């Protein structure tokens, strides 16, 4: 039996506040297939979709889904279908779904698909239950067919981060692209299997490795004092030459 989506109460966030400010650099740029007039604009729309779903960190040639791109260019699928294909692609599953637990994955997808943060821990739990019971495909379908998605993006608009700033704020929210693709728990797992080990210096001779022998320390002191003495003599000579006492 399918478990219904757990109810949660929306909180007041930026994306739920109507905007009246003049359009500027901080405002989101809309990519809509209904307003395209040149092939270059379609290229920009596709890049915007990749940037939204995969983030800047994963804008790699190997992540491209060329069959989906071709279908979108020919009008065989909508932008919403293209987004769905990216979310269900092997690249997205490998780089984003597998390294994360359900809670973090839900937080990531709500940001990238619905264009906002999760309202609360209860919402995060609600969508996590959907992931656990319906799997990735069912979770993606529920997000893309939700009333919130259709109300803001419909079939033809690339999702974007909604309402980053408010007129009463001097600084807006950080772009969602700043969120790393995996959390600290996955990094800990990588460390346990040998990743991110500290680099150890390679010593060619035994006397190079601390604790240093007495003769090495003594030699170091002699070199340091000799260098300091020569430097002091040079400074004095330059000063005397500047006062025309001696000539260099």
Q: Say which residue the tokens 């071709």 belong to.
A: 70
Q: How many domains does the chain have?
A: 2
Give yes or no: residues 129 and 218 share one domain.
Answer: no
**79-87 vs 121-144: helix axis angle to the nearest 10?**
120
Give yes or no: residues 34 and 106 share one domain.
Answer: yes
In angstroms, the CA 6 to CA 125 distance is 8
Give yes or no: residues 237 and 162 share one domain.
Answer: no
235-to-93, 227, 241, 248 alpha-carbon distances in Å? 65, 12, 10, 12
The answer to whether residue 2 is domain-embedded is: no
Give yes or no: residues 134 and 236 share one domain.
Answer: no
Give yes or no: residues 229 and 136 share one domain.
Answer: no
209-to-201, 204, 205 alpha-carbon distances in Å? 9, 9, 8
The answer to whether residue 201 is domain-embedded is: no
Give yes or no: residues 94 and 131 share one domain.
Answer: yes
The answer to whether residue 109 is domain-embedded is: yes
Does residue 233 surpass a pLDDT of 80?
Answer: yes
| Rounded mean pLDDT, 226-233 | 89
Task: Give the domain range for residue 227.
Answer: 206-242
Q: Is 24 exposed, middle or buried (0-12, 13-18, 19+ CB in 10 A)?
A: exposed
Give yes or no: residues 66 and 109 share one domain.
Answer: yes
Range in 30-34, 106-110, 209-213, 231-235 the model is least confident about: 209-213
The answer to whether residue 69 is domain-embedded is: yes
Give yes or no: residues 220 and 172 share one domain.
Answer: no
157-to-30, 47, 57, 175 alpha-carbon distances in Å? 7, 13, 22, 19
Tokens of 123: 């919402």
The answer to whether residue 1 is domain-embedded is: no
Give yes or no: residues 157 and 232 share one domain.
Answer: no
194-to-66, 98, 147, 148, 190 alpha-carbon distances in Å? 35, 19, 45, 43, 7
Give yes or no: residues 153 and 222 share one domain.
Answer: no
The pLDDT assigned to 11 comes to 67
| CATH number for position 73 | 1.10.3130.20
Give the whole-number percent of the chain exceeding pLDDT 90.
37
Give yes or no: residues 109 and 132 share one domain.
Answer: yes
The pLDDT assigned to 186 comes to 59
Check if the beta carbon of residue 153 is closer than 8 Å to that of residue 34: no
Q: Which residues contact 135 (CB under 8 A, 6 or more apart)?
A: none
The pLDDT assigned to 23 comes to 54
Range in 15-29, 132-146, 213-227 the model is least confident about: 15-29
The pLDDT assigned to 70 comes to 94
Mean pLDDT of the chain: 81
Does residue 19 surpass a pLDDT of 60?
Answer: no
What one-character DSSP code corresponds to residue 157? Answer: B
The answer to whether residue 8 is domain-embedded is: no
Does residue 47 surpass a pLDDT of 70?
Answer: yes
For 25-30, which contacts have Cβ atoms below 8 Å and span 24 or more sequence positions? 26/164, 26/165, 26/172, 27/164, 28/160, 28/161, 28/162, 28/164, 29/160, 30/157, 30/158, 30/160
In angstroms, the CA 219 to CA 223 distance is 6
The answer to whether residue 55 is domain-embedded is: yes
Range in 100-104, 131-135, 179-183 the model is least confident about: 179-183
Give yes or no: residues 19 and 107 share one domain.
Answer: yes
The pLDDT assigned to 185 comes to 63
The answer to whether residue 198 is domain-embedded is: no
């Amino acid at each position: 039996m399918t478990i219904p989506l757990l109810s949660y109460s929306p909180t007041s966030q930026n994306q739920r506040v109507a905007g009246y400010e003049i359009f500027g650099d901080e405002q989101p740029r809309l990519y809509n297939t209904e307003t395209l007039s040149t092939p270059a604009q379609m290229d920009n729309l596709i890049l915007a979709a990749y940037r939204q779903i995969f983030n800047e960190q994963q804008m790699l040639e190997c992540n491209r889904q060329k069959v989906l791109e071709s279908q979108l260019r020919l009008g065989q699928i909508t932008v919403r279908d293209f987004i769905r294909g990216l979310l269900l692609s092997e690249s997205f599953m490998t780089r984003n779904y597998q390294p994360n637990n359900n809670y973090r994955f839900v937080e990531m997808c709500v940001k990238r698909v619905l264009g906002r943060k999760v309202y609360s821990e209860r919402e995060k739990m609600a969508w996590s239950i959907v992931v656990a019971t319906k799997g990735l495909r069912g979770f993606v379908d529920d997000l893309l067919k939700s009333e919130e998605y259709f109300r803001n993006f419909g079939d033809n608009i690339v999702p974007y981060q909604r309402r980053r700033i408010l007129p009463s704020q001097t600084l807006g929210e950080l772009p969602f692209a700043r969120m790393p693709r995996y959390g600290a728990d996955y990094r800990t797992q990588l460390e346990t299997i040998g990743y991110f080990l500290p680099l150890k210096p390679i010593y060619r001779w035994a006397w190079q490795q601390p604790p240093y022998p007495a003769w090495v320390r003594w030699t170091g002191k002699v070199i340091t004092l000799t260098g300091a003495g020569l430097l002091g003599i040079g400074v004095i000579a330059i000063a005397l030459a500047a006062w025309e006492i001696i000539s260099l």
